[in-house]
């Protein structure tokens, strides 16, 4: 069992930055796949960024060049640095962990992830 706790959401203006954190209850370097997803009301949840245990990352096209993942093993925390935020980035952001499909480059198959956090809200105003 792995518990995930997200934090760092908030309200910013367009062009601003936020850093989301996902802290795990298990040693984070032992977790195969980690990812951030986001969802807005009335829309399906979508993958934003994925992190493989060996440090390989992937990003959705909509956030490439603006969002960056990093991991702090000592703090069991995955960070999502979000820069140049846009109003369309407004969503509830969820951290997910587990699975193994990231080994095949499939980071955003939601059914593969065993554990999910409660979410943290990001609101970007124009």
pLDDT of residue 63: 98
81/83 Cα distance (integer angstroms): 6
Query: What does each of the 126 residues of the chain score in pLDDT, given as a tens digit?
Result: 899 999 999 999 999 999 999 999 999 999 999 999 999 999 999 999 999 999 999 999 999 999 999 999 999 999 999 999 999 999 999 999 998 999 999 999 999 999 999 999 999 999
pLDDT of residue 97: 97
pLDDT of residue 121: 98
């Amino acid at each position: 069992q792995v518990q995930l706790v997200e934090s760092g959401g908030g309200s910013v203006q367009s062009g601003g930055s936020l850093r989301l954190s996902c802290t795990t209850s298990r040693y984070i370097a032992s977790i195969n796949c980690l990812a951030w997803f986001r969802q807005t009301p009335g829309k399906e949840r979508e993958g934003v960024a994925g992190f493989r245990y060996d440090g390989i990352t992937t990003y959705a096209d909509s956030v490439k060049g603006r969002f960056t993942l990093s991991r702090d093993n000592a703090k069991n925390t995955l960070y999502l640095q979000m820069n140049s935020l846009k109003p369309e980035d407004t969503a509830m952001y969820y951290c997910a962990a587990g699975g193994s499909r990231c080994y095949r480059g499939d980071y955003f198959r939601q059914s593969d992830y065993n554990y999910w956090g409660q979410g943290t809200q990001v609101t970007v105003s124009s």
